Amino acid sequence: MIGRVFNNRYQITERIGIGGMAEVYRAQDNVLGRMVAVKVMLPQYAADQSFTQRFKQEAASAANLQSPYIVNVYDWGQDEGTYYIVMEYVRGSDLKTAINQRGAINQRKVAEIGSQVCQALSVAHGLDIIHRDIKPQNIMVQPDGNVKVMDFGIARAKNSTKEQTSSVLGTAHYISPEQAQGKELTATSDIYSLGIVLYESATGKLPFDGPDAVSVAMKQVQDEPVPPRELNPEIDPSLEAIIMKAMAKNPMERFATAKEMRSALNDYLAGRPVMLGGGFTSAQTQVMSNVPPISPMGDGTAVMPAVGGNQHGTSKSGQSHSYMSDNTAPKNNKKKIAAIVAAVVAVVALIAICAFALGGNGDSKEQIEVPDVTGQTLDEAKSAIQSAGFTVGTVQQQYSDKVESGKVISQDPMGKSKKAKGSSINLTVSQGTQEIEVPDLTGKTADEAKKLLQANGLKFKAGAAEYSDTVDKDLVVRQNVEAGSKVAKDTVVTYYLSLGSEGSSVPNVVGQTRSAATTTLNNAGFYVTYDEQYSDSVAEGVVISQTPESGSKLKADGTVNIVVSKGKESKAVSVPNVVGQSEGAATTTLSNSGFQVTTEYQASTSVSAGNVISQTPSSGSELDPGKTVHLVISTGSGSTGGGSDNSGSGGSSTSGGSGANSTGGGSGTGSNSTN
């Protein structure tokens, strides 16, 4: 594979990874001069339609997802039977490798990773796309510390129809309980998987493990995880609470959206109370769980529990212990006083927490107005934020058709709101109008072309269909915007479908014999039919004309009709009977019928001299006008005349006789002589 060039553009340079159904290579984009990653389907799956469909689906799903925390998909296609996807080349390593090398990761870094993955999932979920395979192997950590989510290989729209078995795809260590059971998935399934990723990142260990995928999947459904702080006591209770909420067995008990989970993580990173629902913060939940119940008096005044009462609680290990007991209470006054002081401190702490919750963030810092920096350049915004007494938090980039590149689209918190001095202001900065690489539509059906264009943020239009000798009927033969060119989002791309081949040129067979013409047309791939007609100019058996004419386009197995000459048309008439007529009468009859006449003379004892003895051809024969009828004229019984002309005069005589009917008498033996 090394050195191979896909689509005359992507030159493979190095293999950088391999998965269950594909290999990933680093490659050089020879058109744009940049490094890319090319994901190539393994050859054993290329012939399997279900795998190729899933491979195409990965490209179509990921290509429409635009986020700084999602690996961009640039292109995809097929080259000599090999399916490939061209993606953004991300420098760094995957999160799984980092965990394997370092063990537990700094908890603030874990929260930052979780926040960025939540932002990526928010984009996907906003398009009704569920990732289905969130795991640390699919989260790339870049040198700058930011992450990118990749491999939407089994992602699909939640309302698409597909076999039920597809819902259990994924890695067993990270799948949700409903995914392990083959149930319908929602966005909260990705949230569960992300919870496991954060659990593993913060503790260095998986919450559920086993000898095989089935046993791990069963634990996902049935077992509760060990709280992260039991594995790593340094984990902040707020972060632990976020992770455990994300990993709730019941999807309804998890964060409702990735955006909600991201807000909780950002609150933790900013030092704000983390709201987990039910009106309590994670800090309140943590403290209140270790404080004895407070009984109100009739007037509503809170009363401390009796020091001598038998109040029970539960230790971290799950064993019951007493806060204070008559049987075990020390009789030492100093210890009683210490217990009372501890109880009072607990109540004061509780009151302080309640005041914190009711009073907002409890920050004693001055509350000042946040400057509105939307529409400003990043440098201007930073300057304004710092001048107002705030700090610049995260800066994200996002495409925008309305805000000029380099200027602030939005901010969090919003301008004009009141925040503590020194708080962080997060910014989203415009990358300008998104430039989209136009996909190659050649050879695709109309539906495939439409979906591909829409997946890339482009619009479509169908042009007039046209003939093509190279592209099959009903497939795209060309497009008006060249594939690979960069255009703005929502650009209209016109595609043209093929009508199939217009056909081959019909050879010229006019002037050939019928046999030769048939052979020529058959060799060109056509059938032949023929008609016949008379022709005064074309010899019999020769082609007079053809339909279609030579040079016309005709599809293979089409039919060509040829017209073959029958020669000149016959106008023959019946020869009249002139036997027994006088020579003059016979000549007149035949001349009137259009025939020429020749004569000869001979003696006859049965036919009177001067009358016709016989004719050739005989009467009733069919003869063309202008042809000759030959007559034999009787000279009587005494002499034989010979020779003739069309005048019917002259005669011949035998030796010693006289030539009756002759003109100018002759003597001797001059038979067949004409006078």
Known binding residues for ATP: 39
Catalytic, out of 29, 75, 94, 133: 133
Q: How many helices and strands in the chain, by DSSP H and E? A: 16, 35
**Per residue in 343-369, is it b (16+ CB within 10 Å) or e — as a string?**
beebbeebeebeebbeeebebeeeeee
Read off the tokens for 224.
Answer: 């509760």
The answer to whether residue 133 is catalytic is yes
Beta-sheet strand order (sheet of 424-430): 391-398, 424-430, 408-412
- Is-contact 156 57, C-beta < 8 A? yes
- Is-contact 208 223, C-beta < 8 A? yes
By CB atoms closer than 10 A (0-12, 13-18, 19+), residue 153 is buried
Cα–Cα distance, 587 to 576 (Å, whole number): 11
Name the amino acid, one letter, at 403.
V
Secondary structure string (H, E, C) spanning 240-291: HHHHHHHCCCCHHHCCCCHHHHHHHHHHHHHCCCCECCCCCEHHHHHHHCCC
In degrees and rounded to multiples of 5, residue 616 shows phi and psi of -135, 125
Cα–Cα distance, 286 to 279 (Å, whole number): 14
Name the amino acid, one letter, at 137.
Q
The candidate with the shortest Cα–Cα distance to 23, out of 71, 55, 66, 47, is 55
Cα–Cα distance, 127 to 154 (Å, whole number): 15
Cα–Cα distance, 203 to 103 (Å, whole number): 7
Cis check: omega of the bond before 292, within 30 degrees of 0: no
Catalytic center residues: 133
